[in-house]
């Protein structure tokens, strides 16, 4: 879930994933940040054996846990976020998400460097012991799609596709 006007890197990253990991199910990506229900519907409609991913930047990263909640009847194998915005949805991650990784810029310095747009940290729902959540600090201007973050996400997507039942 990306904003094509505010985040043109979304197109290149989606294509990078599709080229490197053909089995990754990215639905109709890139989506706009307001297409949360469309994302959830695509996750639900995907073939039963699909390896499902949700990836977002800024407001799209905020909406990743929302889409996963709307699609709670299916497993989301990987959820990835670049700098979720402090101005967006702050929903907990449910146990249908097996692995989640977000790069964000916390604290006062994060607020300054991202104008508050990349400071929200994802969190698990109370009692969720299933999701392996990784939070990586990265003080970089918004939207934070650095080579380091993109490389980490791509490597994790490749690992998940190789072993889709593994949550760690």
pLDDT tens sequence across 5-35 = 455 566 788 889 989 998 777 778 888 878 8
Say if residue 69's pLDDT is above 50: yes
- Looking at residue 163, what is its pLDDT? 83
CA 8 to chain centre: 16
- Looking at residue 9, what is its pLDDT? 61
How confident is the model over 83-134, as pLDDT tens digits? 999 999 999 999 999 999 999 999 999 999 998 899 999 999 999 999 999 9
- Looking at residue 41, what is its pLDDT? 96
Handedness of CA 20, 24, 25, 26 (dihedral sign): negative
Q: Where are the domains of the chain?
A: 9-162
Band the pLDDT of 167: cuts 50, 70, 90. low
- Looking at residue 44, what is its pLDDT? 96
- Looking at residue 52, what is its pLDDT? 93
Tell me the β-bridge partners of 79.
Answer: 54, 100
- Looking at residue 160, what is its pLDDT? 94
- Looking at residue 159, what is its pLDDT? 95
- Looking at residue 142, what is its pLDDT? 87
Three-state SS for 118? coil
- Report the distance separating Cα 159 and Cα 163, nearest Å: 6
Residue with tokens 């790069």: 103
């Amino acid at each position: 879930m990306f904003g094509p006007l505010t985040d043109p890197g979304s197109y290149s990253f989606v294509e990078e994933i599709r080229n490197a990991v053909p089995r990754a199910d990215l639905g109709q990506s890139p989506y706009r940040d307001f297409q949360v229900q469309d994302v959830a519907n695509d996750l639900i409609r995907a073939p039963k054996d699909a390896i499902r991913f949700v990836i977002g930047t800024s407001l799209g990263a905020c909406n990743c846990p929302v889409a996963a909640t709307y699609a709670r009847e299916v497993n989301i194998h990987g959820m990835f976020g670049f700098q979720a915005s402090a101005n967006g949805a702050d929903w907990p991650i449910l146990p249908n998400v097996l692995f989640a990784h977000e790069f964000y810029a916390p604290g006062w310095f994060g607020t300054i460097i991202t104008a508050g747009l990349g400071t929200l940290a994802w969190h698990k729902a109370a009692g969720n012991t299933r999701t392996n959540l990784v939070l990586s600090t990265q003080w970089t201007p918004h939207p934070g799609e650095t080579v380091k973050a993109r490389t980490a996400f791509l490597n994790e997507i490749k690992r998940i596709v190789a072993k889709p039942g593994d949550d760690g």
